[in-house]
Structure 1
Amino acid sequence: MKQIGDTGIPISDLVYGCWQMGGDEYWGKSQDEQAVDNIRTAYDLGIHTFDTAYIYGLGHSECVLGQALQKIPRENCCVISKLWQMEMHYEDAIRNCEDSLKRLKTDYLDVYFVHYPDYTGTVPIEETLEAFNLLKEQGKIRAIGLSNFSLKQTREAMRYAKIDIVQPCYSLLWRYADKLLLPFCREQNISVIPYSPLAQGLLTGKFHRDNKPTDDRSRVPIFQSPYYEKAVEVVEVLEQLSGENGWTPAEMALSWVAHQTGITAPIVGFRHKEKIPQSLNAVSKKLDAEAEERIEKASRNFTDQLPFFLNFFDNTIVEDPDKEEQTWSL
């Protein structure tokens, strides 16, 4: 059984992502009863790790997950939530964690993440992590994680708290973590649970050159020209392979992420119950060498020409945040 860092906290091969069931504008309305049923189905199939956050529906996702967990043994679950980036002052961090516990109807979180770095530089990470350390001492959280942090930001955070797990964006279309963050985490025994392994649905084959999404995803950099047209070329390679090996594009994209060195478990959200066993099957099997080589080439052709964006959801182009870390090596 996998565990988070050296904490002894078990983590499943697939993490159930709970953003969609927040019912916010990004994903549209969600049916709470269906979401609860999906979570319990996932648990029965072997998924016991659930990833949520306050910002997912401003607490609604946490409430729904809390409802679902009432009929599941809490000690058998790994429950993850996150502190929003506008609430990083010491007192705010304490209050937000305690509010999350109430919504989730639990006495503790297995992992509490800092959701994003404070890009404004207003709140030092030392202050935020001082609050996290207190929460850990009080038994309200068991492990501390960082989401969307660069290597430089991660190493800075490690000066003030023990970091057991990170959550970067990572997929065939977003591989900034490859060069420095993943090798560092391997060396430090830090678990990695990437989000958006299917690139917000783009890698499922749902979208094509003449079928771009018009919802909130249209603001994501890889859904904008000229990157979108190049990203579709990667999808087309997956579709070609799908006709040859019988895998769906989504299964190939998910399997690829799950088997990258240093990846602990990808995060996947579900609207439809039948997708749960399909995704579990995808992470349990590995692509053959020829398929992996073709996919790797297509992926690199795309990601190597991407500029550095502030994050997956922000098209602000920035300098390489880890430029000063390039000399770091194992």
Structure 2
Amino acid sequence: MTEMTTRTLGKNGPAVSALGMGCMAFRMGDDDREKQAVKTIQSALDSGFSFLDTGDFYGSGQSEMLLGRALRGRRDDAFLSVKCGAQVDPNGRIIGLDGRPNSIKNFAAYSLKRLGVDVIDLYQPGRADPDVPYEETIGAIADLIKDGKVRYLGVSEVGADLLRRAHAVHPVTALEIEYSLASRFIEREILPTARELGIGVVAYRILAEGMLGGSLPQGQPPAGSSFLAPRMHGEHYTRNMATAQVLDAMATSKGFTPAQLAMAWVLSRGDDIVPLAGISRPSRIIDNLNALEVRFTPEELSQLDRAFAPDAIVGLRYPEFVLKWAAQ
């Protein structure tokens, strides 16, 4: 089996697994479902996945509780990244943000309890609350670092200006943000700013809701699909899936899956980038690890660069009501 490698998170940050594990999908349920979630997390740890990414609003704390069960007796094997600040309704829908300092500290207290740990490795507001000065939100996390409850400051889905403002309050270790062949907006200003400041990038949604995964049908979305992104609806879907066929063809010629190539492309963008893989069951671990074996020729990278130029994918990456809280 392919061995996991490590990357340094930011200029002066910790060493973490080159691939991170996104834990958004883990939910409580029947006994078998919970056992599989715990087994998947522990199998990922066994395979070298140290970077585990969750949020206190994932399943209203359910993801954290399952992580806590999986990490009993194994705390030192994991680097825990936790997002906070999103308000959700009983159905799990995000209905607002809360970046007030006291709220941030309250969120952290509950996360520590659910995770069953004494300290969170990387802590970040999931989005910037437009009603609270960002410096106040970041200052609360700086206080948590001083108190020994958090090790490193992270930020999520912010532009270059907020990134600089956060870094001026306390050194930022990592920026979590969407980045993939289908979503390259950070290359204009956000990524250069992060690199100037020595901030690592944690890339999520690297398969663009399956657009780059090679398993979705061409033409029209599958019946009953509930994609969040407008780019995955109607004519946008048809056009974008046609663009994705370039990746499909290259994957076939190289003997890998489109998903592995999509992940490998993100890895190829720099050693300061850690892509997050969504792994729902143990059998998927090897598939993700094999992405580390992909090597692109200069000609292949040029082909992908042309096919997935920054404006090649049409349609918004989030609905308008969510995009107002996201980096542009």
TM-score tier after normalising by the smaller chain length: 0.7 to 0.9
Partner of 1:53: 55
Query: Deviation of residue 34 (structure 1)?
Result: 0.7
- Asked if the contact 2:204–2:275 (Cα under 8 Å) also holds between the matched residues in 1, the reply is yes
Q: Secondary structure at 1:236's aligned position in 2?
A: helix
Q: Which runs of 5+ in 1 are unaligned?
A: 25-29, 323-330
Match of 2:280 among 260, 265, 271: 271
- Percentage identity across paired residues of the two chains: 28
The residue type paired with residue 47 of structure 2 is L
CA distance in 1, matches of 2:172, 2:13: 14
Query: Deviation of residue 293 (structure 1)?
Result: 2.3
- Summarize deviations over 1:101-130 as a string: whole Å, max 9, x none: 000000001100110122xx2111122112
Call closer, same or farther: CA 1:194–1:321 in 2, change over 3 Å: closer
Call closer, same or farther: CA 1:187–1:45 in 2, change over 3 Å: same
Call closer, same or farther: CA 1:44–1:71 in 2, change over 3 Å: same
Query: Deviation of residue 8 (structure 1)?
Result: 4.3
The residue type paired with residue 154 of structure 2 is G
The residue type paired with residue 45 of structure 1 is S
Partner of 2:197: 188
- C-alpha RMSD of the superposition: 2.5
Structure 1 range deviating more: 290-299 or 37-46: 290-299
- Asked if the contact 2:200–2:272 (Cα under 8 Å) also holds between the matched residues in 1, the reply is yes
Query: Deviation of residue 161 (structure 1)?
Result: 2.2
The residue type paired with residue 67 of structure 2 is L
Higher strand share: 2
Call closer, same or farther: CA 1:55–1:205 in 2, change over 3 Å: same
Call closer, same or farther: CA 1:36–1:146 in 2, change over 3 Å: same
CA distance in 1, matches of 2:277, 2:152: 21
Return the TM-score normalized by structure 2. 0.87
Call closer, same or farther: CA 1:51–1:216 in 2, change over 3 Å: farther
Query: Deviation of residue 265 (structure 1)?
Result: 1.1
Q: Which runs of 5+ in 2 are unaligned?
A: 1-5, 87-96
Match of 2:27 among 12, 15, 22: 22
CA distance in 2, matches of 1:55, 1:203: 26
Partner of 2:111: 100
Q: Secondary structure at 2:60's aligned position in 1?
A: coil
Higher relative contact order (CA 8 A, sep 6+): 2
Alignment partner of 1:131 is 2:132: no
Return the TM-score normalized by structure 1. 0.86
Partner of 1:2: 7
- Asked if the contact 1:152–1:321 (Cα under 8 Å) also holds between the matched residues in 2, the reply is no
Alignment partner of 1:255 is 2:264: yes
Q: Secondary structure at 1:2's aligned position in 2?
A: strand
Aligned length in residues: 310
The residue type paired with residue 253 of structure 1 is A
- Asked if the contact 2:21–2:276 (Cα under 8 Å) also holds between the matched residues in 1, the reply is yes
